[in-house]
Amino acid sequence: MTMSEKPLLEIRDLHIEGHYQDAWHPLIKGIDLTLQRGEVLGLIGESGAGKSTLGLASMGYVRDGCRITGGSVRFDGQELVGAKPEALRTLRGLRIAYVAQSAAASFNPAHRLIDQHVETAVRNGGIDRVRAEAEAVELYRVLRLPNPEQIGQRYPHQVSGGQLQRVMTAMAMACHPDLIIFDEPTTALDVTTQIEVLAAIRDAVKTYGSAALYISHDLAVVAQMADRIMVLRHGKLVEEADTRSMLDAPQQDYTKSLWAVRSFRTEPKPCPQQATPLLEVRKASASYGHQPVLQEVSLKLHRGQTLAVIGESGSGKSSTARLITGLLPPTAGQVLYDGEALPADYRQRSKEQLRRVQMIYQIPDTALNPRQRIVDIIGRPLSFYLGLKGQALRQRVAELLEMIELDPALYMERQPRELSGGQKQRICIARALAAEPQLIICDEVTSALDQLVAEGVLKLLNRIQQQLGVAYLFITHDVATVRAIADEVLVMQRGQVVDHGSREAIFTPPHRDYTGLLFSSEPEMDPDWLDRLLAKRALTSTVQTV
Amino acid sequence: MSLIKPLLRAPLSAQFGLLVIVLYILVALFAPVLAPFGETEVVGEGFAPWGGQFLLGTDNLGRDMFSRLVYGARNTLGIAFLTTLLAFAVGGFCGLVAAIRGGWIDQGLSRLVDILMAIPQLIFALLILSVVGTNATSLVLVIALLDATRVFRLSRAVAMTVVVQDFVEAARLRGEGLWWLVSREVLPNAAAPLIAEFGLRFCFVFLFISALSFLGLGIQPPTADWGSMVRDNAVLITFGDISPLLPALAVALITVSVNFVVDWVLHKSSGLKEC
Amino acid sequence: MNSLCKLLLQRLALGLLSLFAVSVIIFLAVGMLPGDVAQAMLGQAATPETVAAFRAQLGLDLPPLTRFGHWAWQLLHGDLGLSLANQRPIAELIGARLGNTFTLALLAALVSVPAALLLGMLAALYRNSWFDRLLNTSALSAVSFPEFFVAYILILVFAVKLNWLPSISNLAPGASFAEVLERSLLPVLTLSLVVIAQMMRMTRAALINLLASPYIEMARLKGISQARIIFHHALPNALAPIINVVALNLAYLVVGVVVVEVVFVYPGLGQLLVDSVAKRDIPVVQACSLIFAATYILLNTTADVLSIASNPRLMHPKG
């Protein structure tokens, strides 16, 4: 590929605004982008960086409530900004295709997959239906979907999430487009499912020679897919380079800090084996209706320690938290606190029993009452459990705010909506600490946060543990988080504990089957990681089939 | 200040609606001052024409039409407001409790409401009124009870969206009682849709009472009431006289106004979440 | 298909159950409410003996369960009892009127359902245009008008000023179809106006809600035309909400008939009901209420069944 060749996609000084809170706010602030034929460009950034808006704009599309205020988007020499809807329609689906984050929501529930697959080809591409369907089956085969002849006859709700995401990729390829926009195509999937989809997408892009924009917040994922990476922040370009040099030698401070996130580690703490554990779950089983969600789960957590519970969706990790808090009474087994059995239902627990176990949630936006001030939110456990009032209460709230590194003078009277996501999560931590608990259950507390903010929260939790000696039950799906903060680790799958041990023991090979699969599926910051992994797995599966 | 700003930015229809509502309230409050004659006072011949001593003529019994219109604002609005308030107190509270408590309380109340709502409201009201008789008290109680079923459904649904949020779970796990959950956690977050619904239910109740009065089964004479005023003077219409339409217009104007305002409030509260 | 059948049967059973519950309420309402009906009907002058005799005639002296059993038994045999006011069989009173009322509702439905759905779709398609705004504001106004207001305005314009149509709709027995149509036109128009406004608003809301879903955005990004997006992608998914909207409004139509019949002096069930309430002719009120309630339940159950049947998740179960 020579530089003189006309680029496939050329975006110049693009400005896009969005309408919210009765005013227009800039979302994209003058971005340039050039994409050659057959090239894969990764777009990286945290939430609010404008990645998706930019991705959609390269199809000449803006969402309702947004508008392009300046600049140009040229696709194969044709200007898309201000182009007639008819002109855009003949490009979309045929020459530029889109793969959305959630395939489950992006397929029409009322029609068969094959009908949706061939729709553009037949109606806009002038391809006859029989041929279009035959090509679809071929694509399903390339993307390694099970049962390629029949899967198209199914309705979206009859197909699993990972397969649906591959069907959507196949649909994007239906008309052999010059450009495909992948908008976080694996973000909603579990890591073990993600691998198959990543491999399928990469194969397909290579086979058909399409150019692609690959949008993701996950640097390690983008590193596998892209030839070149652009880092975006607040609607502006931070840095742009080819993948390897971007990984090896990032230039900007922001990029460097993004790269450094994964290096945080807590000091391991020795585990007192003999003492009575602070929390113990003994062979607990539970079910929602007739659907069993937990089977004979046992765990122990000692004072001042962090126990990480890791698993994918449906593994029962959150149900374990609900079991301990008394929201999900077990059908068998029991929960012991400091050697004493806790009543199964939280409504039967005493105020003191409730006070000792506190909880922090995944999504801080819904965990804080939007109609209360910060001082009321943090103050309530103080007055409810400890009987603090008036000046003493305000004094204690101020101390807690200082502990979570927020200025009391500034934040005491504010409402949650005036805070950022990370600040809200800190308020949740302060509210939990206000009860002076010995155990805090952290349910995916960093999953909804951007990486940098998440790291800040982890560091804060670690510092608090060192100061106060509080124990954490840390529930997460993220291997990197476990590696960063756990003393002990519990691996769960389909409602059962499949592996447990100290952090060192768990992370040192050889791993048990599922633990190994889980850990190896976690993308690494190495462009060759996926290749190596696939080669290794192909080898083992050949060995197994033989 | 913070109240005036959104008002100035409101669409014309909402501003018009607010103006009319304020006007009606003033008329209702100062009815005795504004009306030239008494509410039930017979002051002249029946069906006197407009102008002269009687601004809008007289009704079938020779009572001043304008004075009765003014008093009608007080009676009809007052009864409708009282009824809606009662329906909200009963239905709203039960709905919130059902959503928060769940279990058999929710099941029991919901099934009861399902059955009550299987009978059309007007028919149910007529059925009960035929037995207990038509007087103002039973009218208010019957309509409030029937309307409470609708309020129950909505407030339960709204409260459900709040109850599933983690801050309510956090309050439960803290050990908070029912009163705290209702008054501090759920109600403040359910207030906006409930207030809008109050406007809509008020319109409905208002139209409902007017319809009953029009049928001769609502507010009973000689109390001035817009629905029965239309009924009493309806014959005039066949002679091309629009006087009997004035009370009907009065009903239409206030319901349109409330609807305009509610529409704006709903649009505003949903619009903030966009983008 | 098994789970679908199960769901449908469940709905039907639920419909029957509510019909039973409703008939219990309609019957027991009389016995349980305060106020002695016999006393009220005979007036204060009646001697205790006459009241007692009257109570015996009504069967009010029997235990409620026996009375309900008797009433239900007769009901199942098509015997609705006797009117208190004139001692005529209720079935006879209701007979012709029932047909009139359903004709009125049916005509109004035939006018309003297609009109409302079309307007609703157009408003959703051209959302936020001046057409949409005009339609919305007029619909909002129409919803807020009392029916008798709309009715009298129509009378004033079409009957009094223009003299095109009769102002009252008293049907003579054996009237020709053309006559019936002419006389029903104004009542039908009144009912339709109110119902169209309501139904159009709800259709628009249901469609707009749907147009915001990711699969519609996906269809746009696939280069599908706007018309095909509305009719092929949005409409099949909007069926369930639209069916519910239609059912809700048809149910309303059957009830809204009451006021309109009184305005136009239309000889239907609604007028009979209102007259009987004024006369406290309880058996007639009960019979009319039961008919209205049964229609209402029938419509709602039909809507439930249809919207379940239009759900692809239930039509094509997993596995």
Min Cα distance C212 → chain B (Å) is: 11
- Which residue would you say has higher pLDDT here, C206 or A99? A99
Minimal Cβ distance to A361: which of B166, B185, B275? B166
In this complex, the residue of B120, B211, B260 whose CB is nearest that of residue C292 is B120
In the prediction, which pLDDT does B144 show?
A: 93
CATH of region A304-316+346-508, choose from 3.40.50.300, 3.40.1190.20, 3.30.420.40, 1.10.10.10:
3.40.50.300
- Asked if A93 and C318 come within 8 Å (Cβ–Cβ), the reply is no
Q: Do A123 and C224 touch (CB under 8 A)?
A: yes
- Does residue C305 or residue B46 have the better pLDDT? C305
For residue B275, is it within any domain?
no
One CATH from 3.40.50.300, 3.90.1150.10, 3.90.25.10, 3.40.190.10 for A3-259: 3.40.50.300
Structure-token match 């507010």, residue found: B219
Chain A residues touching residue B189 (CB < 8 angstroms): 369-371
Alpha helices in chain B (DSSP H): 4-9, 12-29, 31-34, 65-87, 93-101, 103-117, 121-132, 136-163, 166-174, 178-180, 187-214, 226-233, 245-271
Q: CB neighbours of A452 closer than 8 A, spacing ≥ 6?
A: A46, A257, A258, A261
Residue B183 domain-assigned?
yes
CATH topology of domain C98-310: MetI-like fold (1.10.3720)
Shortest CA distance from A158: residue in chain C: C318
Tell me the three-class secondary structure of A11-44, residue by residue.
EEEEEEEEEECCEEEEEEEEEEEEECCCCEEEEE
d(CA B122, CA B215): 11
Candidate from C144, C277, C282 with C-beta closest to B217: C277
- CA–CA distance, A317 with A323 (Å, rounded to integer): 10
- Would B13 be classed as within a structural domain? yes
Half-sphere exposure of A99 (CA within 13 A, CB side): 30
Phi/psi-derived region of residue A338, left when phi > 0, alpha when psi is between -120 and 50, beta in every other case = left
Give chain B's domain count: 1
How far away is chain A from the Cα of B272, in angstroms, using its nearest Cα?
Answer: 6
Who contacts C169 (Cβ-Cβ below 8 Å, separation ≥6)? C183, C184, C186, C187, C264, C265, C266
The verdict on a CB contact (< 8 Å) between C224 and A155 is no
Structure-model confidence comparison of residues B39 and A110, the more confident one? A110
pLDDT tens sequence across B244-272:
888 888 888 999 899 888 888 877 765 43
Distance from CA of A165 to the nearest CA of C (A): 13
Angstroms from A28 CA to nearest CA on chain C: 20
Specify the pLDDT at position A22: 73
Q: Is it the case that residue C316 has pLDDT exceeding 80?
A: no
Check A366 against B165: CB less than 8 A apart. Answer: yes
Q: Do B245 and C273 touch (CB under 8 A)?
A: no
Of all residues in chain C, the one with the smallest CA distance to A157 is C313
Rounded Cα distance, A50 and A26, in Å: 10
Using CB atoms, pick whichever of A85, A120, A157 lies closest to residue C313.
Answer: A157
| Strand A357-360, strand A439-443: pairing | parallel
Tokens of C237: 């998914």
In the beta sheet, which residues pair with residue A18? Answer: A25, A66
Cα distance between the two ends of chain C: 12
Region C241-249 average pLDDT? 85
DSSP assigned state of C304:
H
- Is the CB of residue C236 less than 8 Å away from at least one CB of chain A? yes
**What percentage of chain B exceeds 90 in pLDDT?**
23
pLDDT in the model for residue C300 = 86
Residue type (1 letter), A120: T
| B175–A351 C-beta distance less than 8 A | yes
Task: Evaluate if residue C265 carries a pLDDT over 50.
Answer: yes
Tell me: the pLDDT tens digits for C8-40?
888 888 888 888 888 888 877 766 655 566 666
As a whole number of angstroms, the distance between CA A463 and CA A306 comes to 13
* Nearest neighbour of B252 by CB, restricted to C35, C145, C288: C145
Q: Return the residue of B nearest to C275 by Cα.
A: B215
How far apart CA B109 and CA B105 sit, in angstroms, is: 6
Query: Positive or negative, the Cα torsion across C159, C164, C166, C169?
Result: negative
Global pTM value: 0.83
* Extents of the domains making up chain C: 98-310
Half-sphere exposure of C25 (CA within 13 A, CB side): 24
Contact yes or no for C289 and B203 at CB 8 A: no
Predicted confidence (pLDDT) per residue in C39-88, tens digit: 666 666 677 777 777 777 666 677 777 777 877 777 777 777 777 777 78
C-alpha A402/C-alpha B158 separation (Å) is 37
Chains with 3 or more CB pairs closer than 8 angstroms to C? Answer: A, B
Compute the radius of gyration of chain B from its Cα atoms. Answer: 22
Query: Nearest C-alpha of chain C: how many angstroms from B141?
Result: 13
- Which residue range(s) make up the domain with B127? 4-270
Question: Would you call C316 and A109 a contact, using CB atoms and an 8 Å cutoff?
Answer: no
Q: To probe the interface with C, which of A108, A153, A187 has the most C CB atoms within 10 Å?
A: A108
Partner residue opposite C318 with nearest CB, options A97, A106, A157: A157
Helix H or strand E segment including A309? strand A306-310
User: What ipTM is given for this predicted complex?
Assistant: 0.82
The CATH number for B28's domain is 1.10.3720.10
Mean pLDDT of C207-213: 86
User: Bigger pLDDT: A269 or B150?
Assistant: B150
Chain Cα centroid distance, residue A184:
10
CB contact set of B24 (below 8 Å; sequence gap of 6+):
B73, B77, B254, B257
The 10s digit of each residue's pLDDT in C117-146 is 899 888 888 877 888 889 988 888 888 888
Query: Which pLDDT does position A397 carry in this prediction?
Result: 95
CA nearest A470: which of A336, A331, A360, A349? A360
- pLDDT per residue of chain A (546 residues) written in tens, 0 to 9: 444 578 999 999 999 998 877 788 999 999 999 999 989 999 998 888 889 999 999 999 998 888 999 999 999 989 999 899 899 999 998 999 999 988 888 999 989 999 999 999 998 888 899 999 999 999 998 888 888 999 999 999 888 888 899 899 999 988 999 999 999 998 888 888 888 889 888 888 888 889 999 999 888 899 999 999 999 999 999 999 999 998 888 888 888 888 877 778 888 777 777 788 999 999 999 998 788 899 999 999 999 999 999 998 888 999 999 999 999 999 999 999 999 999 999 999 999 999 999 999 999 989 999 999 999 999 999 999 999 999 999 999 999 999 999 999 999 999 998 888 889 999 999 999 999 999 999 999 998 888 888 999 999 999 999 999 999 999 999 998 999 999 999 999 999 999 999 888 888 888 888 998 999 888 888 888 898 888 888 777 655 444
Nearest residue in chain B measured CA to CA from A382: B174
pLDDT at C250 over 70: yes
